Amino acid sequence: MGTTLTGTTPQDTYDSLIKVTDNGPLSATAKYLSDGLGNDSALALSTSRVGVGTNSPTSKLTIANGTANDYTDGIVMSKQSGNTYAIYASTNDLEFRSVTAGVHIATFSYAGNVGIGTSSPAARLDVMGTNNQAISGKGQLFIADGGTAAQAAGEGGQLSFGAWLNGDLSAPYPMATLKGISEVATTNQNQGALIIGTAESSSLVVERVRITSENYLRLAAGGIQFNGDTAAANALDDYEEGTWTATLKGDVSDPTTPVTTTATYTKIGRQVTLRGEFVNVNTSGASGIVSITGVPFLSSAQNTGSVMLFNFDLNTSTAQNCYIGASVSYLEFYGQKDDAAWVQLLHIAGAGRYLIFSITYFV
């Protein structure tokens, strides 16, 4: 291959020198380098390119694998007394590998997918864990905020989703976010929440759903729609339960000493259920039609419920019903007398009175 040196004694002095293969000058066509004995090396040079493992480099630096999937034909990096890593081209993809641990790290596939922990990524980003991570662990994908240890409540890692406006890559349009936050300002960020946000404008994403550290699901507004129903009126938009002060009244006169009880309510969407008990109360001084005030939500239409009572004037041959009229915040009690007319419950003032009621209506 090479040309033996002449005119020099001894010529062996020059056997380890390198030379261009054909003794010609470097040009755009790459040439192998050889030693003084004519043995070609794996290095090729031209005036503009360098090739390792090839005499036809196609870029400023081209490294050609002799064997597919052989990391020794790639770029190997290590630090003294440290781990060794390799970057190399497999059959179709670019691979990253830990030589020390003997494990695959990441793949950039020819299809444009990135795989971490997998050499066959099936999506733009495909992350594969080594095993099923415990729920308390960092899992397969961990996103963290870069703030200080004493970062304020509300900061955390965020995953954003968006699109480009009219193909303009300089103007990303935010569509939604998935964000982890701390609900307390502390150096020990152990009270986290998950927030889902959606776009309100071309530049603003606002919170819509929150899963709290206390294990609650909160909607910022709107409601829950079922079976593909898009009507706002059919959305479940509220749940609430609590207490209210029920006060026993008479339309002629009230009890001399106010008679009250702590009643309960449950509100699911527009539906409200009330329940309360007056047990062994004294209604002295009361007269006329019995009513209960303090109802926490106005009714949208009249509804009836159930009632149990003792020592009140039924004035009827049929059982009484708890009643609420439209757009009112008080309860009354009605029955029917001798199939002739509706009648209302009347007070018989005194001690030892009992009235237990429940009613469900809509607001």
Higher pLDDT, 80 or 194: 194
Task: Give the H/E segment covering residue 231.
Answer: none
Task: Give the H/E segment covering residue 330.
Answer: strand 330-337
Phi, psi of 90 (to 5 degrees): -85, -160
pLDDT for residue 65 is more than 70: no
SS3 233: helix
pLDDT for residue 298 is more than 90: yes
Phi, psi of 145 (to 5 degrees): -75, 155
pLDDT for residue 133 is more than 60: no
Of the candidates 295, 258, 250, the one whose C-alpha atom is nearest the C-alpha of residue 275 is: 295
Question: What is the average per-residue pLDDT within 209-233?
Answer: 88
Higher pLDDT, 270 or 129: 270
Question: What is the average per-residue pLDDT within 294-308?
Answer: 94
Lowest mean per-residue pLDDT among 184-188, 200-204, 304-308: 184-188
Q: Which two tokens stand for residue 199?
A: 């776009």
pLDDT for residue 12 is more than 70: no
DSSP state of 26: P
Q: With the CA atoms of 222, 226, 229 and 232 taken in that order, what torsion angle do they form, in degrees rounded to the nearest 10?
A: -20
pLDDT for residue 145 is more than 80: no
Q: Kindly report, residue by residue over 274-283, the tens digit of the pLDDT.
A: 999 999 999 9
**Domain layout of the chain by residue ranges:** 11-63, 71-127, 158-221, 239-362
CA distances from 179 to 104, 142, 143, 183, 280 (A): 30, 12, 9, 12, 55
Question: What is the average per-residue pLDDT within 260-268?
Answer: 98
pLDDT of residue 265: 98
**How far is residue 224's CA from residue 114's CA, in Å, rounded to a whole number?**
36
Q: To the nearest whole percent, how much of the chain has pLDDT over 90?
A: 31
pLDDT of residue 304: 94
The answer to whether the CB of 19 falls within 8 A of the CB of 33 is yes
Q: To the nearest whole percent, how much of the chain has pLDDT over 70?
A: 77
Q: Any idea how long the chain is?
A: 363
Q: In sequence order, which residues have a C-beta less than 8 Å from that of residue 154 and are 6 or more positions away? A: 181, 182
Lowest mean per-residue pLDDT among 27-31, 105-109, 200-204, 290-294: 27-31
pLDDT for residue 313 is more than 90: no
Fold of 239-362: Adenovirus Type 5 Fiber Protein (Receptor Binding Domain) (2.60.90)
pLDDT of residue 4: 54
